Amino acid sequence: MKRARYISLSAKTCFLIIFSCTIQNIIAQQRIVIGSVLDPFTQEKIPYASLQWKKAGHGTVTDSIGNFKIATPFKIDTLQVTYVGFETKLIPINF
């Protein structure tokens, strides 16, 4: 009886290890882009510009000095950058 219980516990432990490894692989597949949004004329960084992935659908805003960090699960996506007074820019990204 104890032997069967030990095998059952071992199977549960094995399942948890496999499940944990799968979750880590899913999380690890995020691709991250780090950069700055620049004014095309003065080359100064633009604070609080909006960035959004077209395929993934989520976005972010540059910080007070124009830097950003954004992740996507897709290998190929397009980053849309918008700011008041400027044209919207679409940037294709291929990891």
Report pLDDT for 26.
52
C-alpha–C-alpha distance, residues 26 and 84, integer Å = 36
The side-by-side arrangement of strands in the sheet containing 89-94 is: 59-61, 50-53, 76-82, 89-94
Report pLDDT for 16.
44
Q: Which of 90, 85, 79 is nearest to 52 (CA)?
A: 79
**Predicted confidence (pLDDT) at residue 3 exceeds the cutoff of 80:** no
C-alpha–C-alpha distance, residues 11 and 45, integer Å = 55
Higher pLDDT, 60 or 56: 60
- Is the Cβ–Cβ distance between 81 and 61 less than 8 Å? no
**Predicted confidence (pLDDT) at residue 9 exceeds the cutoff of 60:** no
**Predicted confidence (pLDDT) at residue 25 exceeds the cutoff of 90:** no
**Predicted confidence (pLDDT) at residue 63 exceeds the cutoff of 70:** yes
Full-model pTM: 0.67
